[in-house]
Structure 1
Amino acid sequence: MYKVFVNEKKLIFSTVPEDIHKKLRYETRATLEIAIDLLENTSCPELNIYGEEIEEIWKDFSQMFKVIEAAGGIVTNQDKEILFIRRLGKWDLAKGKIEKGESLEQAALREITEETGVKELLLEKFLNTTYHIYTERNGEKILKITHWFKVSYEGNEKLVPQLEEGISEVSWKSKNEIIQDVFPMTFRNIKLILENYWSSFK
């Protein structure tokens, strides 16, 4: 199963129909174009495309976009707080594009350090991958694939936002603060990765 966010609306790819608002059986690439149009231009809140050959469907879908891969992390400190950045009024987790020759792990650690100023990082394990679609100013449609890692931090360095990347604030947040302050002002794929992260401890 793949979950993609299109304008903060969920597009689910699955082998069997999901119990959600709108479902389309995959026939041809036109099915994908119809789905994107419904999510971008109507009030349809979520949509499911289903078909037995899900990897072939996903391949067809990916080819409709320029694909950008990124990596980032859920960084926790000794108080079990999570590190957030604030950019353009939205809370987000530190992440960024993978550079040529970098591994996913190297990219995640580099981006976290660049965006937040913290260096004493320990990468623990891979968590999950999120997908979302956006449109560049030139009209080009992008499928961004972000690989997330669990990262721990035991230092006490000063947090330094990467101002040149539009980051205005870096902050440690407790779970309660995340639910009350971050969730109303973040993206659905960030909520998804955090909820999956918390559920792994249950």
Structure 2
Amino acid sequence: MSKVDHNKQQKRNSLLDSAFSLFIRNGFSKTSISDIVNAAGVAKGTFYLYFKDKYDIRNHLISHKASQVFLAAYTELQKHEDIVDFEDQVLFIIDNILNQFSENHSLVMLISKHLSWGFFTNSLIETPDKDVPAVYTIYQELLAKSSHTYRDPELMMYMILELVSGVSYNTILYEQPLPLEKIKEPLYKVLRSIFRQYRVEG
């Protein structure tokens, strides 16, 4: 990455980080573009080089944070060479993401309500860095190495993400109906049943 590109990336990331802090602290509706650029220490015109409006930066922020969370989980997975089964790999990544969320409720509030089809189709295609593979690409690579073939693998992942998103939000933030650690076992059993339903046998 050239110095110019690096500086552009730094400014964009500074705007995203400032927006994240302000959205969490003050709320989306009470945060202005002026607030964001002032916190980032850049000119207002710089904002419009990267984002169309406040809604656009929120959407990019969700994509940015979601990709960071997934890639952190995937990086941890790579340390476990003994986990070679596709389904075990996906469950490891999900478990790691849920643990990240449990340690940072701000991420849950920002991402979890959007952690479904938009996460899979939009944010997963984006990359936080040009040298880092897109999350969707990683998913396809894991799938290609699987010992099973799955019909409609994108629909399968949609079902899984919808379930995990719906279960995790109240569980992590309010421990309802159960704390996260107690709900993991029944949740993962259901996820394994989804995998089985989408396997192509024979």
Q: Which bracket does the TM-score occupy, shorter chain normalised?
A: under 0.3
Q: Pick the structure with more strand per residue.
A: 1
Q: Pick the structure with more helix per residue.
A: 2
Task: Choose between structure 1 and 2 for higher RCO, CA contacts under 8 A separated by at least 6 residues.
Answer: 1
With normalisation by structure 1, the TM-score equals: 0.23
